[in-house]
Amino acid sequence: MNTRGSCPGCGADRLLPGPPRQPGGPTCAPCAGIDADFRCSRCLVEGESYRSGICVRCALRDDLTALLLTPADQALRPPLTALVDTLCSSGRPASILTWMRSPKVAALLTQLASGDIQLSHDGLDQLPPGPAVEHLRALLVQSGAVPHRDPYLARFEQWIQAKLAPLSPDIAQPVERFATWHHLRRIRTMAGGERSLRGPVHSAKQEVTETVKFLTWLHTTHQRTAATCTQLDVDAYLATGPTTRTAIRTFFVFTKSLNINRTVEVAHRTAASTPTLDQEQRIAWIRELLSGNSESLPYRVAGILLLLLAQPLVKIAALRVDDILLTPTEMRIHLGKDPTPIPKPFALLITQHVKHRPNLATGNGPSSPWLFPGYRAGTHLHPDTIMVRLRGLGVSLLGARNRALAELATELPPSLVADALGYSHQVVFKHAQAAGDPWARYVGTRNPLSHNKGGN
């Protein structure tokens, strides 16, 4: 009763409840000799009757209408109507009905309709955090009932307050200045663009956390503050702990700019080694992900983009379907200034993935713009999800990206590799020089992977 397609008997595209016909698959009711009308009495779409002769989608609309579209405040009606339409357009309406049966979800929807929960991000922020609230938020954003808000920025603002709460005033005051005047202000200027704030927020959290640790140690051990700290204090602290302690450098750059403490200097940290795969390992992993069965299709495609084109997982996760460009002769992917051609074996794998993207049934819908749709409505797959799956296979993520970038930079002019793959010239030239690249002094002006024009 859930099988649809072209009937091998009459060729009609409809419900196929009948037994398979040889050759061919399941058949429609008339061709199978089934004397029954499977159409919904309301929408006339063929399907299994869910309630009193109507299909599950119509039953879902009835339940949502009764729950949401009788609000006390009539101003709520348009945005809640949009939410109902979004939920009813789900590829699996039965799963929405199951979701609504949760007492937590039912309470949220009831309070939303009555106006007890303000229809805004601020209103949702007042609720106890949890998956039900965040899923509802994602649905409201997708329906247009509330505007898009970068989740990393919002969580960072809340995180700062929680981080400052247990600190003494001597420590909390400089940390608050650093976290809000430097990091939060900088991250807010990045919001609203296509770039994900995940990386900047993660880096800011690490620097704030290390600063709190240092100032706590300084106060406990030497009874000094950020203003009275000495170079000897900092040197002793850095010499007796892990390399993550060097993250306090940004804090002292900030204090120097405000004339809080101009005597302390913290040098840049240089990594002792750069993890990398050898080329044979890289080729073996490419071959495995291209033709093996060690992972499902989405993660094989993500792994190929890492190993073949040196793309970081944050960027892979945020790729859109329209970043894949089809021409009469080839497939290209938009990663940098110019679209980059994808070799045919990998293009076939990506084409297969685009046709069978997961996570479209319950919230995102077929119109989702993401190449890797996430589990929540309107979101892409989280980079950490891809990271866990590829690490589980045994792929060294940083080593794979470094090797791919080094190989590309030795085969092609580094400046053109940077433009094609979306890297800075400085980063690619660094990899090229480390690999002994003969192109290291070449400065290019166009994508080497594009078609040759004018005989150049």
Confidence at residue 273, expressed as pLDDT on a 0 to 100 scale: 60
Span 78-87, average pLDDT: 89
Q: Which two tokens stand for residue 218?
A: 């300084």
Break the chain into its structural domains and give their ranges. Answer: 73-143, 151-257, 279-434
pLDDT in tens, 284-314: 999 999 988 878 999 999 999 999 999 999 9
State the Cα–Cα distance between residues 363 and 374, nearest whole angstrom. 9
Best CA proximity match to 306, nearest among 385, 396, 375: 396
pLDDT in tens, 216-259: 999 999 999 999 999 999 999 999 999 899 999 999 999 999 99
**Average per-residue pLDDT in the chain?**
87
431, amino acid identity: H
Confidence at residue 219, expressed as pLDDT on a 0 to 100 scale: 95
Q: Please list the residues that pair with 18 across neighbouring strands.
A: 27
State the Cα–Cα distance between residues 7 and 179, nearest whole angstrom. 63
Confidence at residue 347, expressed as pLDDT on a 0 to 100 scale: 93
Residue 440 scores a pLDDT above 70: no
Q: What percent of the chain has pLDDT over 70?
A: 92
Beta carbons of 369 and 324 less than 8 angstroms apart: no
Stated pTM of the model: 0.70
Q: Please list the residues that pair with 373 across neighbouring strands.
A: 380
Residue 317 scores a pLDDT above 50: yes
From the number of C-beta atoms within 10 Å of its C-beta (0-12, 13-18, 19+), residue 260 rates as middle
350, amino acid identity: I
450, amino acid identity: S
State the Cα angle at 398 between 392 and 402, rounded to 5°: 135
Residue 3 scores a pLDDT above 50: yes
From the number of C-beta atoms within 10 Å of its C-beta (0-12, 13-18, 19+), residue 121 rates as middle
Residue of 244 and 452 predicted with greater confidence: 244
| Strands 4-6 vs 13-15: parallel, antiparallel or unpaired | antiparallel
Reported as type and span, the H/E element at residue 6 is strand 4-6
From the number of C-beta atoms within 10 Å of its C-beta (0-12, 13-18, 19+), residue 86 rates as buried
Confidence at residue 194, expressed as pLDDT on a 0 to 100 scale: 62
pLDDT in tens, 173-206: 999 999 999 999 999 998 876 667 888 999 999 9
Residue 329 pLDDT class (50, 70, 90 cuts): confident
Confidence at residue 95, expressed as pLDDT on a 0 to 100 scale: 87
Residue 335 scores a pLDDT above 90: yes
State the Cα–Cα distance between residues 65 and 62, nearest whole angstrom. 5
Q: Which two tokens stand for residue 412?
A: 């092609």
pLDDT in tens, 18-35: 988 777 889 999 988 998
Best CA proximity match to 90, nearest among 130, 137, 42, 56: 56
Reported as type and span, the H/E element at residue 342 is strand 340-342
Within 178-230, where are the H helices?
185-190, 198-222
Residue 455 pLDDT class (50, 70, 90 cuts): very low
Q: How far is CA 103 from CA 50, 59, 114, in A?
A: 22, 19, 16
Q: Which of helix, strand or coil describes residue 121?
A: helix
Beta carbons of 43 and 55 less than 8 angstroms apart: yes
CB atoms within 10 A of CB 136: 22
Residue 272 scores a pLDDT above 70: no
Confidence at residue 438, expressed as pLDDT on a 0 to 100 scale: 56
Reported as type and span, the H/E element at residue 83 is helix 77-88
Residue 6 scores a pLDDT above 60: yes
Instruction: Please spell the DSSP secondary structure of 371-387, one letter per residue.
Output: SSB-SSTT-BPPHHHHH
Q: How far is CA 196 from CA 61, 130, 183, 380, in A?
A: 35, 22, 15, 11
Q: How far is CA 364 from CA 37, 66, 136, 368, in A?
A: 32, 24, 13, 5
Sheet holding 324-326, edge to edge: 324-326, 331-333, 340-342
Residue 451 pLDDT class (50, 70, 90 cuts): very low
Looking at domain 279-434, what is its CATH homologous superfamily? Intergrase catalytic core (1.10.443.10)
